[in-house]
Amino acid sequence: MTMFTTLLAVGAASLASATPLQSRQVVPNYPPNEVSTGFRLVANVTDPATDLTPSVDGWEFQGIHTGAGLNDAVLASGPGRIFYHNGTAAEIRFAEGSILADGGTPLFPYGIYVQGEDEVDPTYPAEHDVAINVGSGTIGVSLLAFPDPYFYLTAHAQGTFVACPRTVPYYNAEFTVVRFAYDTFNPDTALFDRNVPEGCTAITLIPECDTLPELPEGSISSHEFAANSKCYEDVSAINWPEYGP
């Protein structure tokens, strides 16, 4: 199963000069979606030729504890954490909201953090961490909004999420961690080049609908601004090549 990597432009083809131009209506065909306040994030490997062993296609986004209120983002084969898109309608529209989950005792909001281009992982200094830590997360990490016809997690930066087998010092054990790989501008082509670290595979994190649990009394978290989000019923069941403009 391969996730789309680019959106194809649809144009009109010129016919012979003796034949008048004819218009052809193109009917968009995209996978059906639903609306839910809660969702899990399911990984889709964008290039199966670079997939890890075992495959991480269909694995889910979650965290592993690395300190008080700190979690490294990883992929695992079991059910992932339930997230929600938090913010006012205007904040979400302009990618200024947050992707949050609830955790701890009492429940606190945990946000998704993506290191900036000037920040690096101390153990792997060429890579940029993704974490699920206490707080509101990195502004700009959000679900892609209208008018894009697909729904997936974006950092609103030129780059891609990647999955990498890496040793996590806190456990001195290997996990499939999630990183963000920033693209590099190529002046020769005037395009951006991908910078997927060695041994990693590029992934798209796609929302799969789930139920956002009610908050127990005494929670620090609040669902007052938890927004309804577009998501898919079963991400792994979608045959992406069937869809497109």
Enter the tokens of residue 87.
Answer: 């913010």
User: Which residues, 6 or more positions from 15, have their beta carbon under 8 angstroms from its beta carbon?
Assistant: 21, 22
The string of pLDDT tens digits covering residues 36-85 is: 999 999 999 999 999 999 999 999 999 999 999 999 999 999 899 999 99
156 has a pLDDT exceeding 90: no
How high is the pLDDT of residue 190? Answer: 84
1 has a pLDDT exceeding 90: no
Least-confidence region, from 12-21, 148-157, 221-230: 12-21
Enter the tokens of residue 106.
Answer: 């009492």
Enter the tokens of residue 3.
Answer: 């996730």
Q: Which residues pair with 109 in a beta bridge?
A: 102
Enter the tokens of residue 119.
Answer: 């920040």
Enter the tokens of residue 35.
Answer: 């609306």
Residues 122 and 143: beta-carbon distance below 8 Å: no
CB atoms within 10 A of CB 234: 10
The string of pLDDT tens digits covering residues 9-32 is: 333 333 333 444 455 566 778 999
Residues 143 and 99: beta-carbon distance below 8 Å: yes
**Average pLDDT rounded to a whole number, residues 202-222:** 97
Percent of the chain topping pLDDT 90: 73
Nearest by Cα to 45 from 196, 188, 156, 146: 196
Nearest by Cα to 128 from 174, 199, 72: 72
Decide: residue 219, CB within 10 A, 0-12 exposed, 13-18 middle, 19+ buried: middle
| Four-residue CA torsion sign, 65, 69, 75, 79 | positive
How high is the pLDDT of residue 14? Answer: 34
> Bigger pLDDT: 93 or 3?
93
The string of pLDDT tens digits covering residues 166-191 is: 999 999 999 999 999 999 988 888 88
How high is the pLDDT of residue 26? Answer: 64
Distance between CA atoms of residues 228 and 86, nearest Å:
9
100 has a pLDDT exceeding 60: yes
Distance between CA atoms of residues 143 and 99, nearest Å:
8
142 has a pLDDT exceeding 80: yes
Residue ranges per structural domain of the chain: 34-242
How high is the pLDDT of residue 188? Answer: 87
Enter the tokens of residue 58.
Answer: 């269909």
User: Which residues, 6 or more positions from 25, have their beta carbon under 8 angstroms from its beta carbon?
Assistant: none
CB atoms within 10 A of CB 72: 24
How high is the pLDDT of residue 23? Answer: 52
Decide: residue 182, CB within 10 A, 0-12 exposed, 13-18 middle, 19+ buried: middle
**Average pLDDT rounded to a whole number, residues 220-228:** 96
198 has a pLDDT exceeding 60: yes
- Mean pLDDT across the chain, nearest whole number? 88
> What three-state secondary structure class fits 206?
strand
pTM above threshold 0.85: yes
124 has a pLDDT exceeding 70: yes
